[in-house]
A and B are shown apart, each in its own frame.
Chain A
């Protein structure tokens, strides 16, 4: 076995393989392993049902946010339809679980594939449109999908929503927050691993090239349109899987949550977390989800506590206000997002405690 490096004073790779690893050092690998052990052995058994629910939602949201980051952060195609794609995944899973009685472990990946297809269809305008114009086209996609979900009643039951049967894998029924915790976070780790793999092979490089200079990318033999579609497909696959998990987790779904607001929220996660950074998507998803919960609690508290006698209604839009302020502040002070903050914290500990 090779010698392990736990606290190197610098990264000196002496094999080409070392340049393409996910973690730069064994220290990072060990930390990740330790993190996973803590995540799976302590977190689900030491938290109450409400906190565990929030953590589960963070996990699902992270999967969708990683998907959007592949499209927005890495490929540079800004999409305002991600919320609708999550909805497509949720509905695809719900319909498959009810009408076709697909088991859970088939319904989730198939829902991902269905959403990937839908995403590629709505990614078609990217052949001609760039930047803001493409964003507007995806915005149209958002509204079209919402309309279809509400009005295709024979398939989606319209505004009534769908109630899903309980999920089970290999005969084990998955019910309740704790068992879903394992399903969600194993999926999240697998999806994160796949995303990092895509990004360190030729596909990821092609995505980044298209973002940075599509003319030169074409001159390097990259068929731009095909790769933009692939990015839309991969991104929507993530959205679809997240949507399917959400549908099974919440048991009943309706069209209501998958609106433009959700799409904007996902975009905010990508921006606040860090564009073009996979770990950043998880940070962003955590930040926004926790912010949402805290603000909901705070708004309730302020409106009912009686401190603001006569002004209660003024605090109602508190959530939107803080939400907007958070985005603006991040763009102003840390445009690379939470991932960059995390990097700075980490690197300031590099020489600790013997810096000079």
Chain B
């Protein structure tokens, strides 16, 4: 396999400078019927940060991400992205604002090849209209080739060259997660939201994934929000961590503060007063 040859052009320094990503969640409340999924969550992510959200099962981590990416509508509270109120913006318009995500249960298109899956993410970056597309004008062709070249750089970065023409449905789980990361990167998001990117992976796959995320975040300054259960990874790579429990915010701070927080220990390991 050919080694990774360099930084993809969509992550060049000039482009990264323009990718301000200030996410601000204010007093977010979401309930489903009587179930309080999130209550009064405040959170702020700065440009270039790797912000992790952790918490036990059912704590509301994915609900929070779904609110930010427009799949759920919160009852109360506001979400601001770069100063703009995005609480009620439609999901597909949020992509244009620069919010890209991956899903917990991979939402790729199983019947399409890896390449077509990633090409789809270039949708908002294709600038041609319907008329030229119907006639396949030379400008359309050039644009398609340009996107194809960008994708090849991402494919090189993620080391998925051998599978680029395989159907996603035939790939093992770990590779699918990697393809999904590639697809999210092809969106050129200002902020990348990852919902459990390490779930169900082998150790080697996790190591690869960590390598990609560190390269993206520390090397190229990609802002990220990460939801993850694997504590060793979260503690090692994230700059700030927010802990949720039963829809409420327990703590926020850098990895060391979180590790030494008695509230967090209680949420994860239970109350030791009963012993």
Contacts and interface: CB of A to CB of B under 8 A. Distances in A.
Given A212-B112, A216-B109, A194 B69 contact: no
A203 B101 contact: no
Contacts of B133: 197-198, 201-203
Contacts of B123: 202, 205-206, 220-222
Nearest to A15: B145
Nearest to A194: B134
Question: Looking at B111, B123, B149, which has the most chain A CB atoms within 10 Å of its CB?
Answer: B123
B121 A19 contact: no
A213 B109 contact: yes
B1 to A, nearest CB: 18
B144 A208 contact: no
A16 interface: yes
B65 to A, nearest CB: 11
B149 A213 contact: no
B126 A201 contact: yes
Nearest to A17: B145
A16 B151 CA distance: 11
Contacts of A213: 107-109
Contacts of B101: 219
B206 interface: no
A7 interface: no
A151 interface: no
A interface secondary structure, majority:
helix
Given A198-B133, A230-B130, 7 more contacts: A19-B148, A197-B135, A200-B136, A201-B126, A201-B136, A219-B107, A221-B187
A17 B121 CA distance: 19
A265 B89 CA distance: 42
A17 B95 contact: no
Nearest to B180: A216
10 contacts: A16-B152, A20-B141, A200-B144, A201-B136, A209-B109, A216-B108, A219-B91, A221-B93, A221-B96, A221-B123
A182 B240 CA distance: 70
Contacts of A224: 92
Contacts of B149: 16
Interface residues of B, number: 39
Interface of B: 69, 71, 90-93, 95-96, 101, 103, 107-112, 116, 119-124, 126, 128, 130, 133-136, 140-141, 144-145, 148-149, 152, 183, 187
A242 B212 CA distance: 52
A212 B107 CA distance: 10
A29 interface: no
Contacts of A206: 120, 123
A215 interface: yes
A220 B134 contact: no
The 7 nearest A-B residue pairs measured at CB: A221-B95, A216-B107, A201-B133, A197-B136, A221-B124, A202-B126, A212-B109
A131 interface: no
A200 B93 CA distance: 23
A26 interface: no
A212 B134 contact: no
A219 B184 CA distance: 9
Nearest to A217: B120
Contacts of A16: 144-145, 148-149, 152
A203 B108 CA distance: 18
A201 B107 contact: no
A223 B70 CA distance: 13
Contact of A201 (B108, B121, B144, B187): B144
Contact of A203 (B96, B103, B130, B135): B130
A218 interface: yes
A240 to B, nearest CB: 16
B92 to A, nearest CB: 5
A209 B120 contact: yes
A219 B95 contact: yes
A179 B121 CA distance: 46
A226 B58 CA distance: 35
Contact of A219 (B103, B126, B130, B140): B103
Question: Looking at A198, A201, A217, which has the most chain B CB atoms within 10 Å of its CB?
Answer: A201
B148 A221 contact: no
Interface in A181-218: 194, 197-198, 200-203, 205-206, 208-209, 212-213, 215-218
A174 to B, nearest CB: 25
B111 A216 contact: no
Contacts of B109: 208-209, 212-213, 216
Nearest to B111: A212
Contacts of A223: 90, 92-93
A220 B108 contact: no
A326 B99 CA distance: 49
Given A194-B135, A212-B109, A220 B141 contact: no
A216 B116 CA distance: 14
Contact of B95 (A198, A200, A215, A220): A220
Interface string A1-41: 00000000000000011011000000000000000000000
